[in-house]
Amino acid sequence: MQTRRQWLMRVAGGAVLAGWSGVDLAAAEFPPGLYGPSRDHLGHALAGHPVEPGGETELVQVRAAAFQPAFFQPNEYRTLRQLTGIILGESADAAIVHEIDEWIDLTISEAASVRAAARALSPLHRTLAIHFYGAEQVRHLEEFDAQRVVREGLAWLDTEAHHAGGFTELDSEEQMALVHRISDAKSDNAGARLFTYLKERVVDGFYTSRAGLDELGYRGNAFYASPPGCEHLYG
Partner 1 sequence: MAGKTYDVIVVGSGASGGWVAKELTEKGIEVLMLEAGPPRVPTRDFTEHIWPYQLKYRGFGNQKKLLSDQPVQRLCYACDDYSHQFFVNDSEHPYTFPAGKPFMWIRGRQVGGKTFCWARVSYRYSDFEFKGASHDGYGQDWPISYKDLEPYYDRVESYIGVSGSYEGLEQLPDSRFLPPMRLSCGELVAKEIVEKKFGWKLIVDRSANLTVPLNGRPACHYCDECQRGCFTASYFNSPSVTLPAAARTGRFHLVSDAVVSHLIMNSEGRADGVAYIDRTTRDTREARGKIVVLAASALESTRILLNSRSRNFPNGVGNAHGVLGHYLMDHTTLEDGGGTMPALQSSVREPVGRPCGYIIPKYVNTVGPHKNKNFLRGYYFAGDGRQELYGHAASTPGLGREWRDKVRSRIPYSFSVYAQGECLPRYDNYVTLDREKKDAWGIPALHIHASYGENELAMAKAMRDHLGEIMDALKLEDRTPPRDELNIFGKNIHECGTARMGNDPKTSVLNAYNQVHGVKNVFVTDGACFVTQGCWEPTLTIMAISVRAADYIADEYRKGNI
Interacting positions 18-77 with partner 1 (CB under 8 A)? 20, 22-23, 25, 29-38, 41, 44-45, 48-61
Question: Would you say 5 or 162 has its CB closer to partner 1?
Answer: 5
Instruction: Note whether 178 and 161 are within 8 A (CB).
Output: yes
Quick one: which of 76, 99, 101, 160 contacts partner 1 (CB under 8 A)? 99
Indicate whether 94 belongs to the interface with partner 1 (CB under 8 A): no
Indicate whether 117 belongs to the interface with partner 1 (CB under 8 A): yes
* Cα distances (angstroms) measured from residue 149 to each of 11, 78, 191, 204: 42, 17, 9, 18
Residue 211 burial by Cβ neighbours in a 10 Å radius (0-12, 13-18, 19+): middle
# binding residues, partner 1 (CB under 8 A): 95
Question: Would you say 103 or 168 has its CB closer to partner 1?
Answer: 103
In whole angstroms, what is the distance from residue 61 CA to residue 72 CA? 20
Least separation in angstroms between CB 93 and partner 1? 13
Indicate whether 183 belongs to the interface with partner 1 (CB under 8 A): yes
Least separation in angstroms between CB 35 and partner 1? 5
Question: Would you say 72 or 206 has its CB closer to partner 1?
Answer: 206
Instruction: Note whether 64 and 23 are within 8 A (CB).
Output: no
Indicate whether 114 belongs to the interface with partner 1 (CB under 8 A): yes
165 CB-near residues (< 8 Å, 6+ apart): none
* Cα distances (angstroms) measured from residue 217 to each of 11, 96, 127, 168: 12, 17, 41, 34
Quick one: which of 9, 16, 155, 164 contacts partner 1 (CB under 8 A)? 16
144 CB-near residues (< 8 Å, 6+ apart): 115
Question: Would you say 58 or 163 has its CB closer to partner 1?
Answer: 58
Question: Would you say 52 or 171 has its CB closer to partner 1?
Answer: 52
Least separation in angstroms between CB 74 and partner 1? 23
116 CB-near residues (< 8 Å, 6+ apart): none
* Cα distances (angstroms) measured from residue 143 to each of 124, 136, 190, 204, 213: 19, 10, 17, 22, 32
Least separation in angstroms between CB 228 and partner 1? 4
* Contact letters for partner 1, residues 197-226 (x by CB under 8 A): --xx--xxx-xxxx-xx-xxxxxxxxxxxx
Interface with partner 1 by CB under 8 A: which range of 74-82, 101-109, 150-158, 163-171?
101-109
